[in-house]
């Protein structure tokens, strides 16, 4: 087979794969900007039918998506900040060879990585109940406050900082907290960004924690509100029919922050995925 | 000890939210557990109830069937795409394609499930609209027990292939260029380079990806929770939805916990086993 044919077939294959990603999204955009009626009519919809913003206006006003959106922002932003800070602190401590029982603690953290959250969802729920934190955003922020993955990733970043940087600072009498905040954190921006991105996306997309721990609509996160919207559950207590443009508007709202941030964040994602897989 | 102060939040978190629940699970699994009030011990009764529950076994079977499908197709697809992407010579095109293919992995299962439920809808869904234009009668993708499993498997592969693709691409970049140069001197065609150099060099990466995917299978929950409906549930309910349904729909908390412990034990053994297998293989 000639080279030109090879290149052409290869590109055609990739274009086909990529189109399975682009066409559904584009279709969702087109439907979300269609009128209520237009979005419900059958046919290949690649352009809004009766262009309008009713999908978006009804999702904000009638279905009050603002509250879940706000909850998602709070849980994701606060949760990510706390997660990055505590995981980095633990990673720093584990990177110090002077730490007593370093091996035991590391094993204790590694074991947690073998226990999927799904497998302990019921006793986790019971624990949160015992702490009196059921149905609070605090419980959602606490859940996943640190993770073995992030701690080890940060530890590896700190280990890669040349030792003499510390030595000179330690000569000046700097303690561990000062070393951490004034030297390690500024030198590990890439690592912090990677952990923060993964955590933010994970929290923004999280479904199970909210499904488990939250039982009132006012505390629901965007994903749960969207899920009941798509499956026409609790949100439709009024009995109104949720038209397709409203559903697709919800989907677009849920992915927009991710799509907007993604081009800038891509290199950190690639780095994080690679670190995560080569760590084995 | 400032170092211990730094570790304190982590240790406290894992003790309270991982190890305590794990230990508690063992106790709960032997109780007739009520959220409020008396919790009598019932010994092994919950475990026996799980093993005698046909729903548990059908969830187990579904996990195996869906898991095998996701594992096999999800293993081949990213390798094909990574090899294919690697042949694209224009840097910008390669980067954009990689970015687009990774996109669904960024989205939640609520979004991905919602998108596909809509795309596959018999009335007004894009896929059926295209089929109709081709003169094919509408297909009830989401309410046909025969098709439901394929939908679950393919959508899962679609969502995650961009992720593993990035791992393979990074590994391909790391292959010693001298190997290709000597092959080129020998007059090898591109095909031969791919088959005799690239694919064998990826063996280690393939093992890591396979290991990660096997461990991920147990976590199959969000997708099913979002995409299932009453008609297809017998075909697509998996172990983790069984735990959830038992615990929070039937309020059989003791039995649900017993089943989760059984699943966890089996997976831990499976993980250790595959790890060992892979270790020996590479030595």
- CATH value at residue A166: 1.10.3720.10
| pLDDT values of chain A reduced to their tens digit, one per residue, 280 residues | 567 888 889 899 999 999 999 999 998 998 889 877 777 777 777 787 878 788 888 888 777 888 999 999 999 999 999 999 999 999 999 988 888 888 899 999 999 988 889 999 999 999 999 999 999 999 999 999 999 999 998 998 888 888 777 777 777 777 888 888 888 888 888 889 889 988 999 999 999 999 999 988 888 999 998 998 887 644 444 556 778 888 899 999 999 988 888 877 777 777 776 666 554 3
Query: Which of A87, A120, A129, A138 is best to mutate for the B interface (most B CBs within 10 A)?
Result: A120
Pick B208's closest partner by Cβ from A23, A119, A277.
A277
CA-nearest of A154, A182, A158, A156 to A169 is A182
Residues A51 and A79 occupy one common structural domain = no
> Is A197 inside any structural domain?
yes
In chain A, the number of structural domains is 2
Distance separating alpha carbons of residues B232 and B223, to the nearest angstrom: 13
Domain of A209, in residue numbers: 66-242
Q: Give the nearest chain B residue to A13 (CA atoms).
A: B84
Model pLDDT for residues B72-102, shown as the tens digit of each residue = 999 999 999 999 998 888 889 998 898 899 9
Model pLDDT for residues B257-274, shown as the tens digit of each residue = 999 999 999 888 887 887
pLDDT category at B283 given cuts 50, 70, 90 is very low
Residues A132 and A188 occupy one common structural domain = yes
Q: What share of chain A is helix, strand, coil (3-state, %, to 5)?
A: 75, 0, 25
Contacts of A118 in chain B (CB under 8 A): 218-219, 221, 240, 243
Residues A116 and A32 occupy one common structural domain = no
Size of interface A-B (CB pairs under 8 A): 246
pLDDT category at B124 given cuts 50, 70, 90 is confident
Is A143's CB within 8 Å of B222's CB?
no
Helix B54-86 to helix B91-106 angle (10° resolution) is 170
| Rounded alpha-carbon distances, angstroms, from residue A102 to A94, A110, A151, B2 | 6, 12, 13, 14
Residues A137 and A208 occupy one common structural domain = yes
Pick B24's closest partner by Cβ from A3, A13, A123.
A123
Residues A119 and A174 occupy one common structural domain = yes
Strand partners, B31: B41
Is B113's CB within 8 Å of A230's CB?
yes
Contacts of B247 in chain A (CB under 8 A): 121-122, 125
Q: Give the nearest chain A residue to B101 (CA atoms).
A: A18
Q: Give the nearest chain B residue to A265 (CA atoms).
A: B99
Is B7's CB within 8 Å of A94's CB?
yes
Distance separating alpha carbons of residues B144 and B78, to the nearest angstrom: 28
Q: Give the nearest chain A residue to B103 (CA atoms).
A: A21
Contacts of B111 in chain A (CB under 8 A): 205, 226, 251, 254-255
When the pLDDT of each residue in chain B is averaged and rounded to a whole number, the result is 88
A9 near B CB under 8 A: no
Q: What is the CATH number of domain B31-282?
A: 1.10.3720.10
DSSP state of B110: H
> Is A134 inside any structural domain?
yes
DSSP state of B136: P
Is A121's CB within 8 Å of B107's CB?
no
| Residue A46 neighbours by CB distance under 10 Å | 12
Residues A43 and A74 occupy one common structural domain = no
Residues A49 and A74 occupy one common structural domain = no
For the cut 80, the answer to whether the pLDDT of residue B226 exceeds it is yes
A185 near B CB under 8 A: no
**Domain endpoint, select from A42, A58, A74:** A58
Angle at B159 between CA B154 and CA B164, to 5 degrees: 105
Query: In this predicted model, which residue has the larger pLDDT, A174 or B170?
Result: B170
Contacts of B238 in chain A (CB under 8 A): none
Is A118's CB within 8 Å of B243's CB?
yes
> Is A261 inside any structural domain?
no
- Give the pLDDT of residue A232: 65
Pick A226's closest partner by Cβ from B7, B114, B243.
B114
**Domain endpoint, select from A15, A34, A58:** A58
> Is A97 inside any structural domain?
yes
Contacts 24+ apart (CB under 8 A), B136-145: B142/B117, B142/B227, B142/B229, B142/B232, B143/B229, B143/B231, B143/B232, B144/B232, B145/B231, B145/B232, B145/B234, B145/B235
Residues A8 and A108 occupy one common structural domain = no
Residues A18 and A111 occupy one common structural domain = no
Residues A164 and A192 occupy one common structural domain = yes
Distance separating alpha carbons of residues B241 and B57, to the nearest angstrom: 13
Q: Give the nearest chain B residue to A23 (CA atoms).
A: B126
For the four alpha carbons of A150, B72, B66 and B126, in that order, the dihedral sign comes to positive
Residues A34 and A164 occupy one common structural domain = no
A149 near B CB under 8 A: no
Strand partners, B41: B31
Spell out a b/e string for B194-228, using b for 16 or more CB atoms within 10 Å of the CB, else e: eeebbeeebeebbbbbbbebbbbbbbbbbbbbbbb
Residues A11 and A81 occupy one common structural domain = no
């Amino acid at each position: 087979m000639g080279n030109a044919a090879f290149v052409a077939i290869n590109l055609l294959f990739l274009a086909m794969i990529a189109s399975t990603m682009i066409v559904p999204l584009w279709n969702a955009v087109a439907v979300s900007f269609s009128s209520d009626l237009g979005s419900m009519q059958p046919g290949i919809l690649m352009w809004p039918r009766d262009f309008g913003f009713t999908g978006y206006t009804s999702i904000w006003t009638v279905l009050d998506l603002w509250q879940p959106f706000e909850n998602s922002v709070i849980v994701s932003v606060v949760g990510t900040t706390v997660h990055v800070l505590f995981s980095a602190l633990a990673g720093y401590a584990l990177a110090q060879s002077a730490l007593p029982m370093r091996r035991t603690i590391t094993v204790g953290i590694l074991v947690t990585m073998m226990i999927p959250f799904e497998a302990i969802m019921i006793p986790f729920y019971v624990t949160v109940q015992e702490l009196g934190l059921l149905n609070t955003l605090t419980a959602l922020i606490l859940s996943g406050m640190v993770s073995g993955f992030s701690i080890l990733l940060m530890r590896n970043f700190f280990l890669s900082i040349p030792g003499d940087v510390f030595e000179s600072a330690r000569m000046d009498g700097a303690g561990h907290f000062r070393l951490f905040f004034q030297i390690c954190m500024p030198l590990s921006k890439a690592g912090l960004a990677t952990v923060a991105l993964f955590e933010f996306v994970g929290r923004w997309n999280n479904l199970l924690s909210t499904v488990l721990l939250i039982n009132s609509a006012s505390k629901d996160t965007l994903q749960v509100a969207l899920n009941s919207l798509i499956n026409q559950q609790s949100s439709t207590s009024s009995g109104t029919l949720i038209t397709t443009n409203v559903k697709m508007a919800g989907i677009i709202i849920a992915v927009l922050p991710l799509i907007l941030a993604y081009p800038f964040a891509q290199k950190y994602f690639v780095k994080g995925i690679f670190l995560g897989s080569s760590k084995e | 000890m400032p170092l211990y102060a730094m570790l304190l939040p982590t240790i406290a978190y894992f003790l309270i939210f991982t190890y305590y629940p794990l230990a508690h699970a063992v106790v709960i699994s032997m109780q007739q557990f009520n959220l409020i009030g008396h919790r009598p011990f019932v010994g092994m009764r919950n475990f026996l109830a799980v093993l005698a529950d046909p729903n548990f076994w059908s969830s187990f079977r579904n996990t195996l069937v869906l898991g095998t499908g996701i594992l096999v197709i999800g293993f081949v697809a990213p390798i094909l795409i990574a090899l294919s992407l690697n042949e694209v010579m224009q840097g910008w095109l390669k980067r954009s394609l990689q970015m687009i293919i990774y996109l669904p992995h960024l989205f939640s299962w609520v979004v991905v499930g919602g998108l596909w439920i809509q795309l596959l809808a018999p009335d007004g869904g894009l896929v059926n609209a295209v089929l109709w234009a081709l003169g094919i009668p509408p297909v009830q993708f989401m309410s046909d027990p025969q098709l439901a499993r394929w939908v679950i498997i393919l959508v899962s592969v679609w969502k995650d292939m961009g992720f593993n693709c990035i791992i393979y691409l990074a590994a391909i970049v790391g292959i010693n260029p001298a190997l290709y140069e000597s092959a080129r001197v020998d007059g090898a065609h591109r095909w031969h380079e791919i088959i005799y150099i690239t694919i064998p060099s990826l063996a280690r990466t393939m093992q890591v990806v396979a290991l990660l995917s096997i461990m991920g299978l147990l976590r199959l929950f969000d997708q099913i929770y979002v995409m299932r409906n009453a008609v297809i549930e017998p075909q697509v309910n998996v172990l983790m939805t069984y735990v959830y349904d038992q615990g929070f729909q039937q309020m059989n908390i003791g039995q649900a916990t017993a089943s989760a412990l059984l699943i966890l034990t089996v997976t831990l053994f499976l993980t250790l086993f595959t790890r060992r297998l892979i270790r020996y293989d590479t030595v």
